[in-house]
């Protein structure tokens, strides 16, 4: 039995800082942008994330490119 992997989607996950708590720790939020091109290069995704946040007042902390595959069992 062979398992076949097929691309089913991709998303860009952005983690950014919105402020500082009273104890001094950063307050973070996360935004997920779906329907990203599955085979986009890591550099292109990274550059797009930084371009988006160059228009924002918040500090971008992390950029994640999440790819999803559907696994099927072919007998």
Helix H or strand E encompassing 34: strand 26-34
7 token code pair? 């691309």
Q: 28 has which bridge partners?
A: 17
The pTM score is 0.83
- Quickly tell me which residue has 């989607």 as its tokens: 9
Q: What is the pLDDT of residue 74?
A: 87
CA distance 69 to 61: 26
The secondary structure of residue 24, as a DSSP letter, is S
Residue 10 contacts residue 68 (beta carbons within 8 Å)? yes
- Each residue's pLDDT expressed in tens, for the chain with a length of 75 residues: 799 999 999 999 999 999 999 999 999 999 999 999 999 999 999 999 999 999 999 999 999 999 999 999 987
Q: What residue spans of the chain are helical by DSSP H?
A: 42-53
Question: In the block, which residue shows the tokens 């999440």?
Answer: 66
């Amino acid at each position: 039995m062979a398992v076949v992997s097929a691309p089913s989607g991709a998303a860009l996950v952005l983690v950014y800082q919105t402020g500082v708590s009273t104890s001094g720790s950063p307050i973070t939020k996360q935004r997920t942008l779906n329907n990203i091109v599955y085979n986009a290069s890591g550099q292109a995704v990274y550059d797009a994330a930084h371009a988006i946040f160059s228009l924002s007042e918040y500090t971008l902390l992390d950029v994640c490119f999440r790819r999803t595959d559907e696994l099927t069992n072919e007998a």
